[in-house]
Structure 1
């Protein structure tokens, strides 16, 4: 059984920008950690996300980006499982809630300038944003109007895990469910 890590110090308030509502978005917001130390950074994020989404039970991170590989983290009364994935983009963090909702966050590298980090987090939290996490970090934010997406542009933007074109999520009058597909979470 993996050891549960108990953070040695109180969590810091995360630098986080969340979309006003969940639903038909590519990302649910952006997070700018102060370091790549998961024991120092994740507790504050978990507590803040718990306030909004309820209990957090699992976090998925890129294995090559962070300084250490903890498997379980005690945050308040809960233990959060941490999954490390080689194929997950370093610019993305995926959270699974106790209700099995998936929350996808842009991860802004700690060394990013404050101005660039704030712009990237605002773009990730913008409900009209159609760009995925790595695209926000590499190209910088640009204004987008979801109503101007052409059918050929829509296939250039795919849902993180579901593979559905963005147009299926933004078409006016579309009755598609607002729930997003969940990723498989290893036990």
Structure 2
């Protein structure tokens, strides 16, 4: 198991995340719950920041499934804020790439992963296109920069 480094304190390293509103009880879930733009392909250093800014209502994420080809090598488990998070790999090529977050008893959330090498304009287009799939065309998501 690997210990996650503490998140940086610099405001320029804030997590770049956009979430769409969760459906009300009884409504069909969306395919994508948001978009995440990590700063590097180092999952072990990027994931703690992401998990730290997720909505409280999502619960404790204990398992993360990612496309192995997108990230540099990473351990099978990571200790994040005194919680063990299991990191699982998939070799299934998805276009676009996603990260799947699992919280027992709470649910599953899929985030579009914007490539770390994307320019601000490219990332903006990807995040906006993700927002366009929100039901009824209403985007109530939040951007955490």
TM range (shorter): 0.7 to 0.9
> For residue 26 of structure 1, what is the aligned residue in structure 2?
31
What is the TM-score of this pair, normalised by structure 1? Answer: 0.61
Structure 1 position 118, deviation (Å)? 1.9
Structure of larger gyration radius: 1
Structure 1 position 92, deviation (Å)? 1.0
> For residue 18 of structure 2, what is the aligned residue in structure 1?
17
Following the alignment from structure 1 to structure 2, what is the Cα–Cα distance between the partners of residues 108 and 58? 20
Q: Deviations over 1:101-131 (max 9, x none)?
A: 11011000011111221221233244537xx
> For residue 64 of structure 2, what is the aligned residue in structure 1?
59
Among 85, 88, 91, which residue is 2:90 paired with?
A: 85
How many residue pairs were aligned? 128
Q: How does 1:34-183 map to 2 (within 5 A)?
A: 34-49=39-54, 51-87=56-92, 89=94, 91-128=97-134
Among 5, 9, 14, which residue is 2:2 paired with?
A: 5
Following the alignment from structure 2 to structure 1, what is the Cα–Cα distance between the partners of residues 128 and 17? 9
Q: Deviations over 1:75-120 (max 9, x none)?
A: 1121110001111526111111132511011000011111221221
Following the alignment from structure 1 to structure 2, what is the Cα–Cα distance between the partners of residues 126 and 53? 22
Structure number with greater CO (CA < 8 Å, separation at least 6) is 2
Q: Deviations over 1:34-55 (max 9, x none)?
A: 0000111111111122634110
Q: Is there any run of 5+ residues in structure 1 with no aligned partner, and where?
A: 130-143, 146-187
Q: Is there any run of 5+ residues in structure 2 with no aligned partner, and where?
A: 138-145
Q: 1:126 to 1:56 in 2, by over 3 A?
A: farther
Q: Deviations over 1:159-187 (max 9, x none)?
A: xxxxxxxxxxxxxxxxxxxxxxxxxxxxx
